[in-house]
Structure 1
Amino acid sequence: METSSAPSTWHPLPDVHAFLDRAGGFLRSRPAPHTVPLTVTEQLRTWGAGVYGEDAPVFGVLERGGEVRAAYLRTPPYRLIVTPLTPEEAGSLVAHLVTAGHEVPGVNADSDTATAFAAAWRARTGIEPRLHERMRLYRLGELRRPEPAPRGRGRLADERDRELLARWYAEFVRDIGESGAQDPAAWADRHITERRITLWETPDGVPVSMAGVTARVAGQLRIGPVYTPAGLRGRGYAGAATAGASLAALTAGAEEVLLFADLANPTSNGLYQRVGYRPVTDFAVYDLPGAGG
């Protein structure tokens, strides 16, 4: 029988398949708080490690008494993704990563975990973390049509939208201040092939907003990205596209539909709640400037 004094040990894993063999059940046990590692590993499993870049992803799990209690992964050049940890576990993860010589440019986790990791990283390395973003995870309750609804209709993106989606994806990544994005054309091709983008278009057939969805895994789908070009914002298009993508997710059999919103943007948070989304928990993203192995 496991006791509270059982030792905890971080174990690196060689690839996504070994990671899912070891941690898949743990991740699926709590789909909402584990939504990011679930969807990222599903992309790696489906599209291959090269979808995020040339460098190999990094994986690991924390085991106690023979059971997985936490997990991490990183797809370079992106930040480390971590499941919920206690402050002590965050400190042990920092020690594990530093000892292994891993580059850690930042961390993305629930707020308590990210804050504990940032503090442990500062204490261990002397590097001052920089808060990049605070986000709120939402879960769809009762889907509601946004009011007032803009004129137009939603439709799935197809081959005729390839150039538009690639351009909008590049603009979205630029707007949120991310680097190391996926190739826009390849991103558009994958999302068109897998029917993952809902467009909202005006009555004369001009696309004005998009809302994507992740693959369904552990019964959940996550909406994102949601993007409207700057000159078309404030007209209800994003809400209409989000509602359309959410309905498509429910129709596809999703048990949970989730999305993230930047807490610095009260407009988007209010919009998602009007459509029917309810808060689950808060996340934080920290950058570790100059961090290396």
Structure 2
Amino acid sequence: MRPENWHLTEDLDEFLSRAGDFLRSRPALHTVPLTVTDALRRRGLHLYGEETPLFGLLEADDGTVRAALLHTPPFHVHVTALTPQEADALAVRYAELGRALPGVSGPRDTAEAFAAAWRRHTGTAVAVDKRQRLYRLGELAVPEPRPQGRARIAGPADRELLIRWFEEFKEITSGVGQEAGNWADGRISYGGVTLWETHDGTPLAMAGVTPETAGQVRIAPVYTPADLRGRGYAGAATAEVSRAAREAGASEILLFTDLDNPTSNGLYRRIGYRPVADFTVWRFGE
């Protein structure tokens, strides 16, 4: 596999015209590039930051696409499944660009192979940042005991709450992401956040969902303020948003968990989510 087999472009339309069928062929495993490119198409290339995103695809000798990448700074580059040789070729190709690269995310073995190749070719230190598991909803089960309260779709009046909770969510996760106001406006525009609230209307937790693309949606983020955790509110919100997504016709309802958080992994399994694959995020330069 040669580095030049990787075609890189800043043209989203070109990328989707060439790699779209490949991404849609495995919507669960390709949920990140599907949902991110859909957001960029709908809301603009600079949704996640000032730097223009980069897209890439790997073509076999017969011209078929067998892998893809996307890089939306300040996020890590995200890659689909690669062999070690393909990951090495990509590391060489990317290093030639001289483009800042904070890290990589992707299927566990692929991300590890790319991180090792990046270290070999650039001398940069690499380290595991996060271990994740992708889950798919099977038979939905409402967690018991069900907490008191009710579900409600967040609307314009909830904008400041969503901004505050999204900022708090970022602080306990990666610390990067799109600007909170933009995120809140985008989610409100299509009813993309479900709140669990008391019967008198006090919000207790939230569960978000991405727009449907290629038949799949992804539940994210799920957040409960620290002083309200452990009472079942996040589970109730997640079950409700999962039910609504299924009733709306989504064929794949997905979510990622942090493997270092046994509480959330146990919760989602009780709701009916089943493992699909493991992913890893590596950080570079430390």
* TM-score bucket (shorter structure): over 0.9
Instruction: Measure, in 2, the Cα distance between the counterparts of 1:258 and 1:110.
Output: 15
Number of the residue aligned with 1:168? 165
Number of the residue aligned with 1:48? 44
Q: Does 1:192 align with 2:196?
A: no
Residue 204 of structure 1, CA deviation: 2.0
Per mean C-alpha deviation after superposition, the further-off stretch among 9-18 and 146-155 is 9-18
Per mean C-alpha deviation after superposition, the further-off stretch among 200-209 and 218-227 is 200-209
- The answer as to whether partners of 1:208 and 1:229 remain within 8 angstroms in 2 is yes
Q: Does 1:288 align with 2:280?
A: no
* Alignment length (residue pairs): 285
Which aligned pairs between 1:207-286 and structure 2 lie closer than 5 A? 207-286=203-282
Tell me which stretches of 4 or more aligned residues in structure 1 moved more than 6 Å.
5-8
Instruction: Measure, in 2, the Cα distance between the counterparts of 1:266 and 1:227.
Output: 16
Q: Does 1:205 align with 2:201?
A: yes
Select 2:57's aligned residue among 38, 41, 61: 61
Q: Does 1:119 align with 2:93?
A: no
Instruction: Measure, in 2, the Cα distance between the counterparts of 1:161 and 1:6.
Output: 51
Which aligned pairs between 1:113-152 and structure 2 lie closer than 5 A? 113-152=110-149
Residue 7 of structure 1, CA deviation: 10
When normalised by structure 1's length, the TM-score is: 0.95
Instruction: Measure, in 1, the Cα distance between the counterparts of 2:113 and 2:179.
Output: 33
- The answer as to whether partners of 2:2 and 2:89 remain within 8 angstroms in 1 is no
Give secondary structure in 2 for the equivalent of 1:66.
coil
Q: 1:166 to 1:6 in 2, by over 3 A?
A: closer
Instruction: Measure, in 1, the Cα distance between the counterparts of 2:181 and 2:188.
Output: 11
Residue 8 of structure 1, CA deviation: 7.5
Gaps of 5+ in 2: none
Instruction: Measure, in 1, the Cα distance between the counterparts of 2:182 and 2:5.
Output: 38
Give secondary structure in 2 for the equivalent of 1:49.
coil
- The answer as to whether partners of 2:129 and 2:282 remain within 8 angstroms in 1 is yes
Give secondary structure in 1 for the equivalent of 2:285.
coil
Instruction: Measure, in 1, the Cα distance between the counterparts of 2:182 and 2:156.
Output: 12
When normalised by structure 2's length, the TM-score is: 0.97
Instruction: Measure, in 2, the Cα distance between the counterparts of 1:186 and 1:79.
Output: 20
- The answer as to whether partners of 2:10 and 2:52 remain within 8 angstroms in 1 is no
Identity across matched positions, percent: 58
- The answer as to whether partners of 2:135 and 2:273 remain within 8 angstroms in 1 is yes
Give secondary structure in 2 for the equivalent of 1:216.
coil
Residue 100 of structure 1, CA deviation: 2.1
- The answer as to whether partners of 1:8 and 1:62 remain within 8 angstroms in 2 is no
Residue 167 of structure 1, CA deviation: 0.3
Instruction: Measure, in 1, the Cα distance between the counterparts of 2:64 and 2:181.
Output: 41
Residue 178 of structure 1, CA deviation: 2.1
Instruction: Measure, in 2, the Cα distance between the counterparts of 1:8 and 1:256.
Output: 34
- The answer as to whether partners of 2:205 and 2:225 remain within 8 angstroms in 1 is yes
* Matched AA of 1:257: I
Gaps of 5+ in 1: none
Number of the residue aligned with 1:87? 84
Residue 231 of structure 1, CA deviation: 0.5
Residue 71 of structure 1, CA deviation: 0.7
Residue 229 of structure 1, CA deviation: 0.4
Residue 6 of structure 1, CA deviation: 10
- The answer as to whether partners of 1:219 and 1:254 remain within 8 angstroms in 2 is yes
Number of the residue aligned with 1:159? 156
Select 1:96's aligned residue among 93, 97, 118: 93
Instruction: Measure, in 2, the Cα distance between the counterparts of 1:248 and 1:211.
Output: 12
Instruction: Measure, in 2, the Cα distance between the counterparts of 1:188 and 1:225.
Output: 12
